[in-house]
Amino acid sequence: MTNVLEVKDLCKTYVVNKRQNNVLCNLDLTVSEGEMVAVMGPSGSGKSTLLYTVSGMDKMTAGEVKFCGKNMSDMKDNELAEMRLDDMGFIFQQMYMMKNLTVLDNIILPAVKSKKTRESRSETVKRGQDLMRKLGIIDTANNDINEVSGGQLQRACICRSMINSPKMIFADEPTGALNRTSSEEVMEELTKLNDEGTTIMLVTHDAKVAAKCSRVLFIVDGSIKGEYDIDRSKPLRDRERDLNNWLLEMGW
């Protein structure tokens, strides 16, 4: 299976008040095409920093990150920005949307900005509408972002992350700001996308969310302490129980 993401000896250091804070330490990992990988760990362990660094949103201090075979440390800022726009999708806990745009216009904005295709605006709008229909929120297309629920808005963020047909989606606590019902709905949509072949890497503190993934990375103090493969053929309740037992062994 092809590796979408390859990370070797990754280090990320911040300097605060002349003191070095080593957030990521010689970290190695790979994510294969079609995987859905959860990143878990205690608060301050480096989970979000890892996500931002391997996706090129934050600069690495040392090491190597390859995305679809391209070495990101060799790329200029504009090249990284183009890669993020065209080949990556992003979903965050805080659902960043442009307040002056409708839900649909927010969804298609990355496609409008991209030079990936030369389709007409009407074709882009149709693709956005198709994604909204697929995720069950087409009736909110012309709404302002403050006129929809949190669950609907996060599903709109999923649509936006998919509009440029990314090779991989990066999600930072995508259900963290949602109630349990909305969280389950959003994870159901992400699982469907993964079943259709989309590679996903997500940060979560929720074992119920992680149990729907195919693999879990447990990070402590900027290093991967353990990896756990999830048998998705098992009932979800059994997956949650087995994962929780493993997390306890890891010191969760």
Which CATH number do you get for residue 60? 3.40.50.300
**pLDDT value at residue 76:** 94
Contacts (Cβ under 8 Å, ≥6 apart) of 50: 10, 12, 24, 27, 39, 203, 219
pTM: 0.94
Mean pLDDT of 34-51: 95
Within 10 Å of residue 162's Cβ, how many Cβ atoms? 22
**pLDDT value at residue 180:** 87
Mean pLDDT of 108-113: 95
**pLDDT value at residue 12:** 96
Contacts (Cβ under 8 Å, ≥6 apart) of 240: 207, 208, 211
What distances in angstroms separate CA 223 from CA 50, 180, 198, one per listed residue? 10, 30, 26
Distance CA 164, CA 116 (A): 8
Burial of 25 (0-12, 13-18, 19+ CB in 10 A): middle
Domain that holds residue 84: 3-250
Range in 77-81, 83-87, 184-188, 230-234 the model is least confident about: 184-188
By residue count, the chain amounts to 252
**pLDDT value at residue 93:** 82
Within 10 Å of residue 96's Cβ, how many Cβ atoms? 12
Of residues 211, 224, 170, the one with CA closest to residue 4: 170
1 pLDDT more than 80: no
User: Per residue in 197-216, pLDDT tens?
Assistant: 999 999 999 999 999 999 99
* The total number of structural domains that make up the chain: 1
In the chain, the amino acid numbered 230 is I
Of residues 207, 154, 218, the one with CA closest to residue 182: 154
Of residues 119, 114, 180, the one with CA closest to residue 151: 180
**pLDDT value at residue 206:** 94
